Each structure stands twice: as structure tokens, then as C-alpha cells.
Amino acid sequence: MSSESPKTGAPVFTMSLMVTGNLLGAGILALPINFGPAGLYPTLFGIVLVWALMLYTAFVLAAQPDLACGETGGLPSFFGAKLGQGAKWLAVAADLVIFYGVLTAYLTGTTTILVNLFHLPIGRMAVTVCYFVVAAGLASFGMGLLRRCNAAILLGMTVTFLALIVMLAGHMDIARAGHMRFGFMPAALPVALTAFLFHNLIPTLCREMRGDVAAMRRSILYGSLLGLVMNLVWVTAVFCTLPMESPKATSILGAFAHNLPATVPLSILLGSQLFQDVGLVFAILAMTAAFLANGVALQGFLLDLTDTCLGLRNTVVTWLLAFMPPLVVSMVYPDIFLVVMNLVGGVGICLLFGILPALLAYRQGLGGKKTLAAVAILLFGLILGFEVAQEFGLTHILPDTEYWHHFRE
């Protein structure tokens, strides 16, 4: 018997829950609406495809010993060491797009839900500032607070999610899921990428699990599978409950046109105070937990970046750099929720957690592994190209509402 002691890292179950908690955020609220014009079955296909792509790149990163040993200064430095300095600064830019984009999405998404569902005595801008003060203030306490609250937040999200599905069950009609328009699916794939974003957690997984690649991959698989199931159940429930079109603000296309999270039209349609309250708790928990995790990570990232580039290591300056830009953008562009989710997924995530890991796998792989990496690069490249074309006005996604006429209720 070998005398070498086995690796005894963190339990797979615990790490799986961390993965699930990290990928549940604004993405799950945006998925049904952003995929809306495509219909349910193209949506399910697109979500599974994106899950498989993100799982593949997560496996690639989890197998890198440098991340487990903590020999790099974060993912940008890691990619710089593996793929060159150009890859490092590309990763820095992509990371900033992700961080600033998701914080802006959480601010605008939360504000949109509160303003559309409640008759508040204050204006929209004041609501944004109030939520910002609470969320950014909590993020100032660092990872210690997040670790202590993570289990409670995930439990609350699970309970409220199940409650929402149960309350929707009596209003579902499978006939609403009959329409399909695959041509609209590519436009929603960037938001699907945001719904499976947990890759910033991988360096932490590597360290906590002491470089045990098999255990890390099981944690990633189980955690992301749970997230996949929740996303599939949620979009199915929404598509079977909301009509595609409606004269009221209770349709999928109406929410799509007004950049609304799915809980807003559902609450209006059901007219249930209980559903509205539970939906609010679920949305606030999901977006606040994600805001805290990304806010803490962005502060650390900017602290290292300003120290390296400017020789400045000031926590107050770092806090201002981290949180003031999202606040300003949220106040100037309050209806930017779905737009910014597309940008984060189609550009930031696609580059940092799609193309760069796949390119690394291509360089390290042989035979079939190299072919698989090439396919991943191609698919992520197509998503990136489509999103860039949209941002520059080269493509326009305007659903033909007459097509849906016979589904109107």
C-alpha cells in the first residue's frame, strides 16, 4: 500500500453548491425573455448547447496545475503566461466588461422589478441609489460576509424558486410552447452564457480542493447540472404561462421590447400578491448574492491592477473605481438590463471563459481533443461575431409579431 496520503480537499458537495450559487443570478431572470422570440424548444436547445460549451471550458481551466498551485496572479496573468502578453491584456479587458456589466445589470434589474411591481413613494433614480447603498455597502465587507451568508442565500433562493414553480403550475398551458423560430435563437445565446457564469470561482476551487482534478470536475459537473435543471424548468414554466403576445404588459414579446425580467410580466399576469412577494425575494436574493460576489472580486481585481499599472494601492480609490461607474450607467440608462446582459455574455464571457480556454486546450491537446477545442473556438467565435455585429448595428433582431398572431391571448 502506498504511503502517500490522499488529497483531502473540500467536499465535492460543498463545492458543487458554491458553483450553483455563483451561476444563479440575473441570467436566470433574463433567459426566458431574451430567448422569447425563438420559442420554447429552440430555447431549450440553446441553453443545453451553452451549458455544454461552458462546462467544457470549465473542465479545461480546472485541469491547469498553475491555478491549483496559486502560481499566477489571477486568470489574466495565467492566460498571459500560457498564451502571451496579448492574451493577458485581452483577458483584463474582458474581465472589466464582465465585472462592470454584471454590476450594472444587477442594479438596473433590481430597480426595474421594484419600480414596475410596487407603487413606491420615491422615483426610479432614488430606488437605484438606495439599493446601491445597501449592496455596495455589504460588498465592502469582503468575502468573509459572503462565505457566512452563502448557504442561507442559496437555501432562500431554492425555497423561493420551488414556490414560484408551484404557483405557476396551475397557469401553465403546453399549447403555448408550440411555436418555434430558430432564427432568433443566436441573438439570445450571449445571455445564456451569463446564466452559466461561474468560472471566476475555478481558481478558488483549485486551491480549496488541493488540485484534485477529478474532484473539481465532479463539483463543476454536479453544480452546473443543478443550475441547468433550474434554468430549463424556469424557462419552460415561463413559456407555458406567458402568452407570446398580449394587449397588456403581460407577454413575452412585451417584456422583450421593454427590457423586463421575467418576474415582472408574470406578477402582473397572475395578479397574486404572494407570487409578487416571493418573486421579489427570489430576484433580490439572486441578484444581491451575485452583486456581492462580483463586487468583492472586482475590488480585488482593481486593487491589483492599479498597484501593477499605477503603483497605487488605496482601498477607497478602488471602491470608487469599482462601484461608481455601474451606478452612473444605471442612472443614465435605466432600461439597459437585457442590453448589458447581452454585452457581458457575447463579448466578455465569450472571450475570457470561451475562446481563451478553448485556444489553450487547442495548444495543449492532441487528436480528438484538438478537434473538440477547434469546434469550441468556432462556436464561441460565432457568438462573439454575432454580438459584435449587433452592437455595431450590422444586424437587427426585430421579431415579426404577425408571425405570433395565432398565439395571442
Asked if the structure places residue 399 within a domain, the reply is: no
Average pLDDT along the chain: 83
Per residue in 251-262, pLDDT tens? 888 888 777 778
Q: Is the pTM of this model over 0.95?
A: no
Asked if the structure places residue 223 within a domain, the reply is: yes
Cell 451569463 locates to 194
Per residue in 103-162, pLDDT tens? 998 899 888 888 877 777 888 899 999 999 998 888 887 666 666 777 788 888 889 999
Cell 436574493 locates to 285
Asked if the structure places residue 16 within a domain, the reply is: no
CA 5 to chain centre: 38
Report whether pLDDT(65) > 90. Answer: no
Report whether pLDDT(342) > 70. Answer: yes
Burial group, residue 339, by CB count within 10 angstroms (0-12, 13-18, 19+):
middle
CB 205 within 8 Å of CB 220: yes
Specify the pLDDT at position 145: 66
Least confident piece of the model among 43-52, 113-122, 329-338? 113-122
The secondary structure element, H or E, covering residue 186 is none
Per residue in 252-289, pLDDT tens? 888 887 777 788 888 888 888 888 889 888 888 888 88
Asked if the structure places residue 79 within a domain, the reply is: yes
Least confident piece of the model among 87-101, 271-285, 340-354? 271-285
Report whether pLDDT(171) > 80. Answer: yes
Q: Determine the average pLDDT of the residues in 211-227.
A: 90
Specify the pLDDT at position 408: 41
Specify the pLDDT at position 396: 58
Specify the pLDDT at position 3: 40
- Vertex 298, ends 296 and 303: CA angle to 5°? 100
Specify the pLDDT at position 139: 84
CB 256 within 8 Å of CB 34: yes
Report whether pLDDT(219) > 50. Answer: yes
Specify the pLDDT at position 361: 94
CB 40 within 8 Å of CB 194: no
Which pLDDT band holds residue 404 (cuts at 50, 70, 90)?
very low
| Nearest by Cα to 203 from 222, 216, 218, 221 | 216
Burial group, residue 209, by CB count within 10 angstroms (0-12, 13-18, 19+):
buried
Specify the pLDDT at position 76: 86
Least confident piece of the model among 32-36, 131-135, 399-403? 399-403
Give every CB contact of residue 118 below 8 A, 6+ residues apart in sequence.
Answer: none
Specify the pLDDT at position 70: 53
Asked if the structure places residue 52 within a domain, the reply is: yes
Asked if the structure places residue 340 within a domain, the reply is: yes
Specify the pLDDT at position 20: 83
Range of the domain at 181: 26-394
Question: What b-and-e string marks burial along 237-265, b requiring 16 or more CB atoms within 10 Å of the CB?
Answer: bbbbbbbbbbeeebbbbbbbbbbbbbbbb
CATH assignment of the domain containing 286: 1.20.1740.10
Asked if the structure places residue 310 within a domain, the reply is: yes
Least confident piece of the model among 31-35, 139-143, 342-346? 139-143
Rg (CA), the chain: 21
Count of structural domains, the chain: 1
Q: Determine the average pLDDT of the residues in 73-97.
A: 88
Joined together, the cell numbers standing for residue 74 give 489571477
Q: Determine the average pLDDT of the residues in 378-383.
A: 94
Coil vs helix vs strand at 294: helix
Report whether pLDDT(183) > 70. Answer: yes
Asked if the structure places residue 102 within a domain, the reply is: yes
Cell 397588456 locates to 248
